[in-house]
Chain A
Amino acid sequence: EPEVTQTPSHQVTQMGQEVILRCVPISNHLYFYWYRQILGQKVEFLVSFYNNEISEKSEIFDDQFSVERPDGSNFTLKIRSTKLEDSAMYFCASSEIGATNEKLFFGSGTQLSVL
């Protein structure tokens, strides 16, 4: 089965630094997502992206966050100035057409630790 690929699997950064988390969605998928999961808590929606623009975002996704699809394959999440509370597992996901009945394919996640 095709996979969503995320790199790196672990990222450690100092508070205030910028980080970029990378994802390669499944090639024929059109909808891309970022979710995060703080340790032991539920999976929270951050942002969805379609047709080269943000289609939906949550309250968590403030000005410190941005997403980009710099080329035909990568999808990135940038955190401009990391805070301690940004420490979490970040999941990238994709779906083919974003239909109601369509599952999301998740990557294996990037564990971000902000020190």
Chain B
Amino acid sequence: AQKITQTQPGMFVQEKEAVTLDCTYDTSDPSYGLFWYKQPSSGEMIFLIYQGSYDQQNATEGRYSLNFQKARKSANLVISASQLGDSAMYFCAMREGLDDKIIFGKGTRLHILP
């Protein structure tokens, strides 16, 4: 079974609109962390935001927020007031318990339209 599922392979959004990128995860470990990374066309992986399984509040980092719904095992990324520079691939990822590794989803390619 997929550990991280991103159901939107691609999205087109008008500049300045808010956008939600979906992510669901699968784990039986009560302790886990969820991450979002951005990969622009240049290829580097840029950390955006983190949510811990025990965090009571949704994480926010500037224009990024994470809509964490633990019972539904979803961790959607919300980007407010989208900008042209937000066009990139976005990966949801998870680290479980004491694992070293972070597992990535297949990604969503976001296109911001002027």
A-B interaction: yes
A residues near B (Cβ < 8 Å) are 31, 33, 35, 41-45, 48, 50, 55-56, 58, 89, 91, 93, 98, 100-109, 111
A contact face: mostly helix, strand, loop, or mixed: strand
Determine which of A45, A100, A107, A109 lies in contact with B103 in the assembled complex, contact meaning CB atoms within 8 Å: A45
Chain A to chain B: the 5 pairs with minimum beta-carbon distance, closest first:
A48-B100, A106-B45, A43-B104, A45-B101, A42-B106
Range, interface on chain B: 20 to 34
9 contacts between A and B (CB under 8 A): A33-B101, A45-B102, A45-B103, A45-B104, A56-B100, A91-B45, A100-B52, A100-B98, A106-B44
Which residues of chain B in 6-64 are interfacial with respect to chain A, using CB atoms and an 8 Å cutoff? 31-33, 35, 37, 42-45, 47, 50, 52
| Residue numbers in A under 8 Å from B35 (CB-CB) | 103
CB A53 to nearest CB in B, in angstroms, measures 12
On whether the beta carbons of A100 and B97 are closer than 8 Å, the reply is: yes
Given A42-B105, A42-B106, A42-B107 in contact, is the A101-B44 Cβ separation under 8 Å?
Answer: no
On whether the beta carbons of B44 and A109 are closer than 8 Å, the reply is: yes
Bound-state CA distance A100–B58 (Å) is: 17
Closest Cβ neighbor of B46 among chain A residues: A106
Determine which of B42, B47, B107 lies in contact with A104 in the assembled complex, contact meaning CB atoms within 8 Å: B47
B residues near A (Cβ < 8 Å) are 31-33, 35, 37, 42-45, 47, 50, 52, 91, 93, 95, 97-107
Given A89-B43, A101-B33, A104-B47 in contact, is the A55-B104 Cβ separation under 8 Å?
Answer: no
Given A42-B105, A42-B107, A101-B33 in contact, is the A33-B43 Cβ separation under 8 Å?
Answer: no
Apart from A108-B44, A111-B43, 13 more pairs, CB < 8 Å = A35-B104, A41-B106, A43-B91, A44-B104, A45-B102, A56-B99, A56-B100, A56-B101, A91-B45, A100-B32, A100-B97, A104-B47, A109-B43
On whether the beta carbons of A100 and B91 are closer than 8 Å, the reply is: no
Bound-state CA distance A23–B98 (Å) is: 25
